Each structure stands twice: as structure tokens, then as C-alpha cells.
Amino acid sequence: MEIFEYTFMQRALIVGALVSLVCPVISFFVVNRNLGFIGVGISHTAFGGAALGSFIGANPVGVAVVFSFAAALIVARVSQSRKVSEDTAIGIMFSVAMAMGALLIGLKKQYTVDLFGYLFGNILAVTSGDIIAVAAMGAVVLGVVALFFKEFIVMCFDEEYGRALKLPMDALRYALLGAIAVTVVMSMKVIGIVLISALLVLPAATARMWFNDYRAVIAASMVYTFFTVIGGLFASYYLNISSGSSIVLLGAAVFLLSGAVRPRRSRV
């Protein structure tokens, strides 16, 4: 197939496969901990970090990681203090970050295509350096999940039981939110900050319609994400449409089809 003859398509397929390994794992915890809106807040904060990095001449991805991780810690801290509701804090945080990003883009004298690539996704523009960065961030995320997998499972399904076992639930929450932040940054070039929350919710939400066992849900989420990312990439190539939108719309179609076929099993 001619699609494999182009270097940019080869890189896009590699990055898509890497994202398909990491996002489903994080999606499982996001869905079971009801952290979907937090994923939206962290992703929009990442845009402010990328804009700041571009404005000061630093690596946008590196600054976005710092911003996203800081946002995750702030959300976790606010949810503990209960002085401001979690949803309110997230709404304020991502509104300020997006406004800051728009301001910095306006102050920058030259037009920066890469920033809009981060915002809406441009998987066809990934470079060899992007592949290395995605692989490194993915390894960090999967390493954290592997290290604390059983503890994360306990936190998702019975946090009080975890506290009774004297597990550091607050620290585990920080670690999970940090993993979400890194996942957002590693995926923003693939699908875009505006749409990244779809990869944090749809995989596990779809898989839960079919399976109850957490191992099966994670495995099915990986298959689902690989199919939607690669399928959306092929659709964008042959139909000449946005890759990020293709991925999300294909994923949403599979989600709706699953809901129609298995309505009794759905718990979403």
C-alpha cells in the first residue's frame, strides 16, 4: 500500500501505535475514578505551557509537561482542602491557561504553526525526535502504572479499604494525576489538546460495555485505541481530512455502536 511508502506516514503509524499502548491503560483509571473532567483541565493547561515554551524559546513539550504536572498537583491539593470545589478549580485553571496561551501567541511576532498543531493535533507532522519523546514519556507512564498497579486498583474500587490497609492514598492520587498529565502531553501532537480527553475516556468506557474483569477491560481498551488511532489515520490520509477529528469520530462511532449492540451490559 502506498501509504507505507511515505516517511511521514511511517512515523505517524509508529507514534499512533505507541499512544495506543499508553492511553488505554490511563483511560481505565480515568473512567473508574471519574477523572474525565480533570483530563480536560490538564490538557488545556498543557496548551498554555506549550505556548510559554515557544514564546521564551524553550522546548514547548518540556514546558507543557511541567505545566500539566503542576496543574495535576493543584487539582489534587484543591480536592483535599475542599475550600473550592474540584470542578470550579479545574474550570478556572484551564480557562486561565488557554487565555495565557492565546495571549502569548498574539505577542509572538511570527506565526507558529506548531502551536496550532498541538491544539488540534497533527500526527502527520511528527518527527523522529517526537517519536523518541513519546516513547520516553510512555515508558515513564507505564513504569509508574506497573509499579503501583495493585495500589491504583484498590484506589479506584475501594479507597476506604486502601486507607484501612494504610496505603498512601493521597500520594497515589498525586502519582495517578501526574501520569495523566504526562499522557496528555505525549498525545497532544497526535490528536490535539482540544480532543485529547476522548482518548482518556472513550477506550475504557467502550470496553466496560463488553467486559467486567479489569484485565479484559484494559486489553480491550488497547485493541479499541489501536483500531481507532490507526483507522482514523488511514481515513485522514485517503479522505484528506483532519487526523485528530477522524480518530475521535471513529472512536465515538465504535462507542455508540457498542452501546446499541450491548445496552444491557452498559454501565457508562
141 part of a folded domain:
yes
Q: What is the mean pLDDT of residues 82-95?
A: 74
Closest by Cα among 144, 134, 182 to 19: 134
Domain tally for the chain? 1
**In whole angstroms, what is the distance from residue 245 CA to residue 236 CA?**
9
Burial of 135 (C-beta count, 10 Å sphere; 0-12/13-18/19+): middle
Q: What is the mean pLDDT of residues 195-202?
A: 84
114 part of a folded domain:
yes
266 part of a folded domain:
no
149 part of a folded domain:
yes
Q: Which domain holds residue 43?
A: 2-261
268 part of a folded domain:
no
CATH number of the domain residue 72 falls in: 1.10.3470.10
Task: Indicate the length of the chain as a whole number.
Answer: 268
267 part of a folded domain:
no
Q: 213 — phi, psi (to 5°)?
A: -70, 135
Rounded to the nearest 5 percent, the helix, strand and coil shares of the chain are 80, 0, 20
Residue type, 79: S
CA quadruple 63, 51, 39, 73: dihedral positive or negative? positive
72 part of a folded domain:
yes
79 part of a folded domain:
yes
| Structure-block grid coordinates of residue 119 | 491544539
Q: Is the pLDDT of residue 268 over 50?
A: no
Q: What is the mean pLDDT of residues 19-24?
A: 89
pTM of structure: 0.84
